[in-house]
């Protein structure tokens, strides 16, 4: 092949890659544009309506008031946000490990599942604010109790989704594994667990947002003051002082944190499932 032909083929490949990149970026823009426009429209409408009505800032602050409060209290806001991130991530990781581990044990034995799964449901039905004081008595106030509360509220979605996925494995595939004399653990880790991965990630998407809620609820009840206080503690202080703009800033920070957790888990989902599962495969 001549050098000119090689250059032309390489140029064609580069052009195709550039076209594909431009096409992908344009598709992402089309997906992102509607929610961005809706958000900007909502903020502008909020600003205009509150300004025209003359509503006091301690009743309903304008978006500019919320922004100013976040800037003025940024040191406290960032410290509280970091504390909540540590608590929520710790509780979420514990719920992932604990939920998957218990689900594997239950899926390995129907007797274990029938014996303990009802109590997992009972644990989920009890309001977290009802058991939080007990957790504080057992583990003391502060980070330990907050992490346990975040774990408690995020545990059941991981357990339930993982167990459903493990029990939904194709029986024909399991029979094929047993035909080749595979052990129960080989069937579990080489067949049932990979097949349950979409269910596990679905549970993680639920659990990650609940972990943020659990951490903030834990900070309401078991939080500590000073620089160690999280968003939940900061919200209680701002509410007691009637700092409504700062209160809105804290609430929006909690919402953004939950969204960030969800997007992170969604990114991990695409990494694991995009090559083989229809839920994450790109549609033509």
pLDDT 10s digits, 46-93: 999 999 999 998 899 999 999 999 999 999 999 999 999 999 999 999
Mean pLDDT of 204-220: 92
Specify whether the CB–CB gap between 211 and 143 falls below 8 A.
no
Residue-wise burial string across 73-90, b where 16 or more C-beta atoms lie within 10 A, e elsewhere: beebbebbbebbbebbbb
Q: What is the pLDDT of residue 63?
A: 95
Q: Where are the beta strands (DSSP E) in 141-210?
A: none
Q: What is the pLDDT of residue 223?
A: 67
DSSP, collapsed to helix, strand or coil, labels residue 56 as coil
Q: What is the pLDDT of residue 6?
A: 46
- Residue range 236-258, pLDDT digits in tens: 999 989 899 999 999 999 999 99
| Residue 11 pLDDT class (50, 70, 90 cuts) | low
- Residue range 166-195, pLDDT digits in tens: 999 888 998 899 888 888 889 999 999 999
Specify whether the CB–CB gap between 263 and 195 falls below 8 A.
no
Q: What is the pLDDT of residue 121?
A: 87
Give the percent of the chain with pLDDT over 70: 87
Residue of higher predicted confidence among 204 and 221: 204
Domains of the chain: residue spans and CATH? 64-273 (1.10.3720.10)
């Amino acid at each position: 092949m001549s050098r000119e032909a090689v250059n032309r083929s390489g140029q064609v490949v580069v052009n195709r890659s550039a076209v594909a990149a431009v096409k992908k970026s344009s598709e992402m823009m089309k997906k992102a544009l509607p929610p961005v426009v809706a958000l900007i429209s909502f903020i502008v409408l909020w600003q205009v309506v509150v300004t025209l009505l003359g509503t006091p800032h301690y009743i309903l602050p304008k978006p500019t008031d919320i922004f100013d409060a976040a800037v003025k209290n940024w040191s406290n806001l960032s410290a509280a946000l970091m504390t909540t991130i540590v608590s929520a991530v710790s509780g979420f990781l514990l719920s992932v490990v604990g939920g998957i581990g218990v689900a594997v044990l239950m899926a390995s034995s129907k007797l274990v599942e029938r014996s303990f799964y009802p109590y997992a449901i009972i644990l989920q039905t009890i309001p977290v604010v009802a058991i939080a004081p007990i957790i504080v008595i057992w583990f003391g106030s502060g980070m330990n109790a907050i992490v346990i509360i975040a774990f408690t509220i995020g545990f059941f979605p991981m357990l339930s989704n993982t167990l459903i996925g493990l029990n939904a494995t194709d029986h024909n595939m399991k029979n094929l594994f047993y035909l080749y004399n595979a052990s129960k653990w080989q069937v579990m880790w080489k067949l049932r667990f990979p097949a349950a991965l979409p269910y596990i990630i679905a549970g993680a998407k639920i659990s990650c947002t609940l972990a943020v809620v659990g951490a903030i609820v834990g900070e309401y009840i078991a939080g500590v003051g000073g620089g160690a206080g999280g968003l939940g503690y900061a919200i209680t202080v701002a509410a007691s002082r009637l700092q409504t703009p700062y209160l809105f800033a804290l609430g929006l920070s909690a919402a953004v944190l939950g969204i960030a957790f969800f997007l992170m888990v969604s990114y991990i989902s695409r990494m694991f499932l995009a090559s083989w599962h229809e839920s994450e495969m790109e549609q033509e």
